Amino acid sequence: MTARLSMRSRAVAAFALSALALGVLAGCGSDDEKDAPAAGSSTLKVGYISGASLAPAFVADALGCFQKEGLTVEYTPIKNPADAIAFLSTDKLDAYVGSPSAGMFNQVAKGAELKMVASLGSVNTPEGEAAPSGLFGGKSVAKVEDLKGKRVGVLGTVGTATSYLLGKSLEAGGLTFDDVELVSLALPDMVPALKNGGIEGALLIAPETQKALEQDVAHALVDSKKAYGTSTTSGIMYGPRLLKEDRASGVKFIRATACATNQMLGDWRKDAKVVSALATFMKVPDETISKGGLYVFDPTLTVNTGTLTEMQEMFMKVKGTLTYDEIIPADKLVDDAIRAEAVGKAG
């Protein structure tokens, strides 16, 4: 199968300049604990894709969690996820906060030392809370099946985490990538394209989901929580240094992320401190976070290995996306020992 990709736009935007807000954040332990960093100090180079589904890693500094672990984190924004994989492989980055992709799978298949070590946000929100992302259709599209042969907007190309979410949504209507014409668009361009008829459907992420509804230009075609609610495509990936040479610092980074995650359980959009910290990090107004969609964070940070298998199975059906023929097993893609040690000492 060969997916058809329109050349209209090649923008690969940050996975969800979204809306995800913050909730109940007290702090990591007592004030005395916050002011007492762990013995030994480490500086980590961390690449990231900006998105509220990754929030705990972004607010950990403001919450004192990095200080508690004796960590200094130098964040570098990544526009193209493929760059992050290359930088990790060559030790130009120690860690990547983003999503698994075909690029990661292909590099691991070639022998690169890259592994997922933790998961972050999912759309499995409480009852009554809309999912922060989903497949939307224009006025002429009543159900997923109606998108057959039509133009559908997606962030990036087949092989990204966003394309996986789109693929899962299309499956709900019995469709595949080959049944639609994929149009690569930046997130802010999707609602205008739906409005002017440039596309008939799109995988939207908050705040674009809210914009589509407020402007009455599109509606949700599937229940995202049913389509991919248990999947987790946001997480943390390590390269050789933290996997082998300095695992202790790798444990500290995950422990600090867990420290922040434990303060973001429930509706974390109501916590002004976290909202401000995340908005500052993502360079968006506070209201984009406080009034945006809600992502759910699992305090154990456990990687969903089933998602990694499903992504590979989906991408293998699209010619040229993966460079190998057999599914890479979970133990080649995930190092769970680091997370297990860190979470056992988090809090």
> Could you say which of 180, 208, 228 is where a domain stops?
228
Is 133 found in the same domain as 258? Answer: no
For 170, the domain range is 4-11+128-228
Please report the pLDDT score of residue 292 as a whole number.
85
Please report the pLDDT score of residue 232 as a whole number.
86
Is 146 found in the same domain as 189? Answer: yes
Nearest Cα neighbor of 298 from 181, 128, 125, 144 is 125
Residue 16 within any structural domain of the chain: no
Is 214 found in the same domain as 74? Answer: no
Residue 184 within any structural domain of the chain: yes
C-alpha 197/C-alpha 193 separation (Å) is 6
Q: What is the DSSP letter of 295?
A: P
pLDDT in tens, the chain (347 residues): 545 444 333 333 333 333 333 232 233 444 444 444 444 568 999 999 888 899 999 999 999 999 999 999 999 998 878 888 999 988 999 999 999 999 999 999 999 999 999 999 998 888 888 888 899 999 999 999 999 999 999 988 899 999 999 999 999 999 999 999 999 998 889 999 999 999 999 999 887 888 898 899 999 999 999 988 888 899 999 999 999 999 999 999 999 999 999 999 999 999 999 999 999 998 888 998 998 889 999 999 999 999 999 999 999 999 999 999 999 999 999 999 999 999 974 44
Domains: count for the chain = 2
Q: Who's near 123: CB < 8 A, 6+ residues apart?
A: 131, 132, 133, 134, 224, 225, 228, 229, 295, 296
Is 245 found in the same domain as 218? Answer: no
Please report the pLDDT score of residue 108 as a whole number.
96
Q: What amino acid is encoded at 273 in this protein?
A: K
Strands (E), the chain: 4-6, 42-48, 71-77, 95-98, 115-119, 121-122, 133-138, 151-154, 181-184, 201-205, 218-220, 235-238, 296-297
Tokens describing residue 214: 């407020």
C-alpha 291/C-alpha 278 separation (Å) is 13
Tokens describing residue 20: 């995800």
Residue 26 within any structural domain of the chain: no
- Residue 313 has a CB neighbour count (10 Å cut-off) of 12
Please report the pLDDT score of residue 124 as a whole number.
85
CATH of the domain at 281: 3.40.190.10
- pTM, two decimals, is 0.82
Please report the pLDDT score of residue 26 as a whole number.
33
Is 134 found in the same domain as 104? Answer: no
Please report the pLDDT score of residue 341 as a whole number.
96
The residue whose two tokens read 């480490």 is: 42
Is 297 found in the same domain as 274? Answer: yes
Q: Who's near 111: CB < 8 A, 6+ residues apart?
A: none
Tokens describing residue 183: 């149009």
Q: Who's near 305: CB < 8 A, 6+ residues apart?
A: 330, 333, 334
C-alpha 298/C-alpha 296 separation (Å) is 7
Is 216 found in the same domain as 235? Answer: no
Residue 160 within any structural domain of the chain: yes
Is 120 found in the same domain as 243? Answer: yes
Is 221 found in the same domain as 182? Answer: yes
Residue 287 within any structural domain of the chain: yes
Please report the pLDDT score of residue 14 as a whole number.
35
Please report the pLDDT score of residue 82 as a whole number.
81
> Could you say which of 211, 228, 245 is where a domain stops?
228
Helices (H) then strands (E): counts for the chain: 15, 13
Residue 21 within any structural domain of the chain: no
Please report the pLDDT score of residue 41 as a whole number.
62
Residue 56 within any structural domain of the chain: yes
Is 144 found in the same domain as 72? Answer: no
> Could you say which of 196, 228, 260 is where a domain stops?
228
Is 317 found in the same domain as 271? Answer: yes
Residue 19 within any structural domain of the chain: no
Please report the pLDDT score of residue 28 as a whole number.
41
Is 92 found in the same domain as 209? Answer: no
- 3-state percent breakdown (helix, strand, coil) of the chain, nearest 5: 40, 20, 45
Please report the pLDDT score of residue 33 as a whole number.
43
